[in-house]
C-alpha cells in the first residue's frame, strides 16, 4: 500500500468530488477468486485467453471456445462480489454524477448493486446469435454445446467483445462522456494493456480529472496517474470512502 498521506489525499479528493468515474479490470474480481488473464490460473488446457477469445478461434473451432466458456461460467457462477465491488456500488449514491466502466465480463458489479455502469467487454451470462444478432440472457452452467438461437437456429456466441473486435459505439460514447466530465477518476485492477480502456486514464487526465490507480503492482499507466496505491482492491477501495 502507498503512504498514509497518499491515502489521505485521495480520501480528501473523493470527499469533495462531484463527478466520479471508475474504471475496473480483472484485478477487482481477483479478490473474489476469478483469475486474471495474465496472472497464475489464467490458463485452461494450456491455451492462453488471447488464443481463445478471438473471432478467428470461434470460426475455427466453436466447440473448443464454448468449452472454455463453460469452464469460465462454472468458475464464475460460484463467485460473489467482494468489499471492493460493494464500495464501488456505494459510490453511485455518494456522488452527484457517477459512472462505472468495467472491462470485466463476470457480472459481479451488478451482483453488488451497481446500475450506473457500462460493461464495455460484454457479459459472460449473455449470448448473441451469429445470424440474427439477437442478444439474450443465458445462465446455464454448463451451456449446451453447441447452443442455437431459438428464433432462427443460428449458432450462438458469447456476448463478449473479443480480442480484435470493436467496442459498441454507445458504450464508447458513454465512457468518453463520463471520463471527460469527471473531476476524479479511479482505475482499479487493470493492467492498462488492453485498448481502448488503456487510454481512459489519460483521457480523464487531459480533461482535468485527478486520476488514481489502485493495483497490486505498478502498471503501464502508473506513470501518468496523479496518485497510486499498491495493494489488494478489496482492502484499499473500501478505505477510500472513509473520510
Ligand atoms: P489483466 O488480467 O490484464 O490485469 C489485471 C490487473 O489486476 C493487473 O494489473 C494486476 O496487477 C491487477 N491485480 C491482480 N490482483 C489484484 C488485486 N487483488 N487487487 C488489485 N489489483 C490486482 O486484466 P485487465 O486489465 O482487466 O484486462 C484483460 C482483459 O481480460 C479484459 O478485456 C477483461 O475483459 C478480461 N478478463 C475479465 C475477467 C473478469 O471478468 N473477471 C477476468 C480475466 C480477464
Ligand atoms: Zn438468431
Average pLDDT taken over every residue of the chain? 95
> Within this chain, do residues 237 and 148 fall inside the same structural domain, yes or no?
no
> Within this chain, do residues 116 and 130 fall inside the same structural domain, yes or no?
no
- CA 118 to ligand 2 centroid distance, Å: 24
> Within this chain, do residues 200 and 90 fall inside the same structural domain, yes or no?
yes
Distance (Å, whole) CA 105 – CA 160: 7
The sign of the CA dihedral 53, 55, 59, 60 is negative
Domain residue limits at 56: 37-78+125-160
Closest residue to atom 14 of ligand 1, CA basis: 27
Ligand in closest contact with the CA of 131: 2
Q: What nine digits make up the cell of 222?
A: 502508473
Number of domains in the chain: 2
Find out whether the beta carbon of 104 lies less than 6 Å from any atom of ligand 1: yes
> Within this chain, do residues 226 and 189 fall inside the same structural domain, yes or no?
yes
- CA 154 to ligand 2 centroid distance, Å: 5
> Within this chain, do residues 136 and 26 fall inside the same structural domain, yes or no?
no
Contact 91, 17 (CB under 8 A): no
Find out whether the beta carbon of 121 lies less than 6 Å from any atom of ligand 1: yes
Q: Give mean pLDDT, residues 93-108.
A: 97
Q: Is the confidence at residue 129, as pLDDT, over 90? A: yes
Q: What nine digits make up the cell of 220?
A: 503501464
* Coil, strand or helix at 69: helix
The model scores a pTM over 0.85: yes
Contact 109, 136 (CB under 8 A): no
CA distances from 12 to 87, 90, 148, 194, 205 (A): 16, 17, 52, 30, 18
The sign of the CA dihedral 234, 107, 58, 68 is positive
Q: How confident is the model at residue 194 (pLDDT cuts 50, 70, 90)?
A: confident
Q: Is the confidence at residue 2, as pLDDT, over 80? A: no
Find out whether the beta carbon of 170 lies less than 6 Å from any atom of ligand 1: no
Amino acid at each position: 500500500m502507498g503512504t498514509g498521506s497518499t491515502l489521505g489525499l485521495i480520501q480528501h479528493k473523493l470527499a469533495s468530488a462531484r463527478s466520479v468515474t471508475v474504471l475496473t479490470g480483472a484485478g477487482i474480481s481477483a479478490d473474489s477468486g476469478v483469475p486474471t488473464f495474465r496472472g497464475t490460473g489464467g490458463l485452461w488446457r494450456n491455451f492462453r485467453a488471447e488464443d481463445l477469445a478471438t473471432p478467428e478461434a470461434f470460426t475455427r473451432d466453436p466447440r473448443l471456445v464454448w468449452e472454455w466458456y463453460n469452464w469460465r461460467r462454472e468458475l464464475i457462477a460460484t463467485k460473489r462480489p467482494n468489499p471492493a465491488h460493494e464500495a464501488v456500488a456505494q459510490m453511485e449514491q455518494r456522488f452527484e454524477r457517477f459512472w462505472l466502466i468495467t472491462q470485466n465480463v463476470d457480472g459481479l458489479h451488478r451482483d453488488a448493486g451497481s446500475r450506473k455502469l457500462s460493461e464495455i467487454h460484454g457479459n459472460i451470462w449473455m449470448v448473441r446469435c451469429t445470424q440474427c444478432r439477437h442478444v439474450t440472457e443465458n445462465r446455464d452452467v454448463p451451456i449446451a454445446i453447441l447452443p442455437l438461437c431459438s428464433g432462427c437456429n443460428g449458432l450462438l456466441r458469447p456476448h463478449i467483445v473479443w480480442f480484435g473486435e470493436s467496442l459498441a459505439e454507445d458504450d464508447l460514447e458513454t465512457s468518453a462522456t463520463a471520463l471527460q466530465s469527471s473531476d476524479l477518476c479511479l482505475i482499479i485492477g487493470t493492467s492498462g494493456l488492453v485498448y481502448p480502456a488503456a487510454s481512459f486514464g489519460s483521457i480523464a487526465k487531459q480533461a482535468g480529472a485527478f486520476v488514481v490507480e489502485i493495483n497490486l503492482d505498478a502498471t503501464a499507466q502508473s506513470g501518468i496517474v496523479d496518485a497510486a496505491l499498491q495493494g489488494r482492491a478489496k482492502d484499499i477501495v473500501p478505505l477510500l470512502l472513509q473520510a
